[in-house]
Amino acid sequence: MTPERQAKFETVLIKRQFNLAVVLENIEDPHNISAVMRTCDAVGIQDIYVVTTSIPKHPRFGPKSSSSAAKWLTIHQFDSVEACIKEIRPLYQTILTTRLSSDAVDLYDIDFAASSIALVFGNEHDGVSEAMQQVADGNFIIPQVGMIQSLNISVACAISIYEAYRQKKVAGHYDQKSVSDQREQAIVSVWSKKKEKFRFKDLRQLKRK
């Protein structure tokens, strides 16, 4: 790996926010997942948790929609809510689901700078499952004033995590490294291998022309 590539990895990892994550539960359209991945990479979210309990496990994610963002993220896949919560509960102080309810808090009232948070986005038609609601710490909504009180999942996620980005940037979170040395080394190792793989693939394609 070249010194320039190593420097790029280090620069990106300094901005990664390891106390903020996105959980996607039973999202049917892989393009929605890919769009979420692209936005997560843009705001510095490294970990995405994909739960599939009522739909088949996704074999892959749309590379065109994500602009290859998936290869720079850590995707955790689960076939049960219990398994997902068991992994994320020790890592994030608060787990919030997107759900319209009487006790839901406004997105803009969430203090993203004060604690580690995992945001859960549910199925395009049915929303977050009952099982996920029972283990979450609460619900939040994105304020809307139109006739249709719903947003596309990738749009809802983008609005939510960019609000988190805004708050965390003001608080200086993007100016300080939050990744441990061990996790950094593990991620760089994975990124390096993927880059080498893609370079080899590109080289083969050039030789065929």
**What per-residue confidence (pLDDT) applies to 5?**
87
Q: What is the mean pLDDT of residues 93-118?
A: 93
Closest alpha carbon to 121 in 161, 92, 169: 161
Measuring CA to CA, how many Å separate 80 from each of 26, 88, 120, 154? 10, 13, 14, 22
**What per-residue confidence (pLDDT) applies to 208?**
45
Closest alpha carbon to 66 in 28, 37, 43: 37
**pTM of structure:** 0.87
* 154-196 residue pLDDT tens: 999 999 999 999 999 999 999 999 889 999 999 999 998 875 5
